[in-house]
C-alpha cells in the first residue's frame, strides 16, 4: 500500500472517529506514523482555513504551497482536505497527535505552526478566531507566550502594542539586560527630563502617556516571563 493511499484511509478513519465532533474523540494512545502525521497535518491545515468561517481559494493555494504531494495523489489529498474543512471542531486532537510525535523536535513543530500562519494570512487578514486557533495550537505544541510572539512576528510583523517593540528590544534579551534597557528608556523619556530638554508644556500629557506606555510594556513582559517560568516548573 502506497503512503498516500494509506494516508487517505487513515484520514477517513480519523473523520469517522470525530463524527461526534468533540475535540477529545480522537484516541490519544493511537501511534501516529508518517502517514498518520500527514493526515493530521492535512486535517489541521484544513481546519485552520475554516477558522474564520470561510475557506477561500487563497487559503487552499497556501495549503498547496506548504504541503507538496505527487501529482497522482493530488485528487485524493484534495478530497481529504475538503472533508476536514467542514468544521474546526476537533482540531486540538490533531495538534496533540503532531505534538506527541515531535515533542523532542520543536523545530518541526515550529515549521508546522509557521505553515498554519501562512494559511491564516493567505486571504489578507488574520481574524480573532484565527488568532485564537493559532495560539491554542502553539500552547498544545508547548511554546511559551514569548516564543509564540516571535513566530507570529516572523509572519505577520509586530503588533503596535507589542511590549518588546515599544521598548526596542528582542524577545531573547536576558532578564538583567531587560532591566537595564527599561531603566535607560524610562530615564530618557521621563516627563521631567523631557521637559528639561525643551518640550513645550502643552505637550506634557504626551510625555506622560509615553512614560505610562513604557511602564506598561515592561510590566507586561515581566508578567509573561513569570507565567512562562511557572509553566516550566
Residue 91 in this model has a pLDDT that exceeds 60? yes
Inform me whether the pLDDT recorded for 219 exceeds 90: yes
Question: Cα 71 to chain center, whole Å?
Answer: 30
- Say which residues have a Cβ less than 8 Å from residue 30's Cβ, sequence separation at least 6: 36, 97
Q: Do 81 and 140 belong to one domain?
A: yes
What is the overall mean pLDDT for the chain?
79
pLDDT tens figures, 107-164:
788 888 988 998 999 988 899 999 999 999 999 999 988 788 888 887 888 777 788 8
Q: Which of 138, 156, 174 is the last residue of a domain?
A: 156
State which residues form the domain around 43: 3-156
Are 131 and 180 within one domain? no
Q: Are residues 152 and 204 in the same domain?
A: no
If asked whether residues 143 and 192 sit together in one domain, one would say no
**Are 187 and 151 members of one domain?**
no
Domain end point (choices 109, 133, 156): 156
Tell me which of 125, 156, 187 is where a domain ends: 156
pLDDT more than 90, % of the chain: 24
Cα–Cα distance for residue pair 34/23, rounded to 1 Å: 22
CATH number reported for the structural domain that contains residue 72 in this entry: 1.10.3680
How many folded domains does the chain comprise? Answer: 2
Q: Is the same domain home to 119 and 228?
A: no
> Look-up: residue for cell 501562512?
118
Residue at grid coordinates 500629557: 205
Domain match, 9 and 113 both:
yes
Pick the range with the lowest mean pLDDT from 48-57, 79-88, 202-211: 202-211
Judge if 94 and 201 occupy the same domain. Answer: no
pTM of the predicted structure, to 2 decimals: 0.66
182 in the same domain as 215 = yes
> How do residues 159-180 score in pLDDT, each as one tens digit?
777 888 888 888 889 999 999 9
For position 1, what pLDDT does the model report? 39
Q: Mean pLDDT over residues 194-209, rounded?
A: 66
Q: What is the CATH number of the domain that holds 187?
A: 1.10.287
- Given a cut of 80, is residue 92 above it in pLDDT? yes
The answer on 127 and 225 residing in a single domain is: no
CA angle (12 as vertex; 51, 108 as ends), nearest 5: 60
Do 125 and 202 belong to one domain? no
79 and 151 together in one domain: yes
Amino acid at each position: 500500500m502506497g503512503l498516500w493511499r494509506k494516508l487517505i484511509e487513515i484520514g477517513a478513519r480519523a473523520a469517522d472517529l470525530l463524527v461526534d465532533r468533540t475535540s477529545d474523540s480522537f484516541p490519544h494512545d493511537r501511534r501516529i506514523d508518517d502517514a498518520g502525521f500527514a493526515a493530521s497535518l492535512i486535517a489541521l491545515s484544513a481546519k485552520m482555513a475554516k477558522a474564520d468561517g470561510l475557506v477561500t481559494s487563497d487559503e487552499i493555494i497556501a495549503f498547496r504551497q506548504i504541503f507538496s504531494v505527487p501529482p497522482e495523489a493530488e485528487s485524493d489529498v484534495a478530497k481529504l482536505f475538503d472533508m476536514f474543512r467542514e468544521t474546526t471542531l476537533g482540531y486540538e486532537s490533531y495538534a496533540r497527535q503532531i505534538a506527541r510525535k515531535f515533542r523532542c523536535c520543536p523545530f518541526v513543530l515550529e515549521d508546522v505552526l509557521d505553515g498554519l500562519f501562512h494559511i491564516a494570512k493567505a486571504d489578507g487578514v488574520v481574524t480573532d478566531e484565527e488568532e485564537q486557533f493559532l495560539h491554542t495550537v502553539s500552547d498544545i505544541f508547548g511554546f511559551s507566550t514569548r516564543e509564540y510572539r516571535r513566530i507570529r512576528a516572523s509572519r505577520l510583523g509586530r503588533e503596535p502594542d507589542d511590549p518588546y517593540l515599544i521598548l526596542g528590544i528582542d524577545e531573547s534579551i536576558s532578564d538583567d539586560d531587560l532591566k537595564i534597557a527599561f531603566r535607560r528608556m524610562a530615564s530618557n523619556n521621563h516627563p521631567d527630563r523631557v521637559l528639561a530638554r525643551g518640550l513645550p508644556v502643552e505637550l506634557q500629557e504626551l510625555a506622560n502617556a509615553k512614560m505610562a506606555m513604557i511602564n506598561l510594556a515592561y510590566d507586561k513582559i515581566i508578567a509573561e516571563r513569570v507565567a512562562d517560568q511557572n509553566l516550566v516548573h
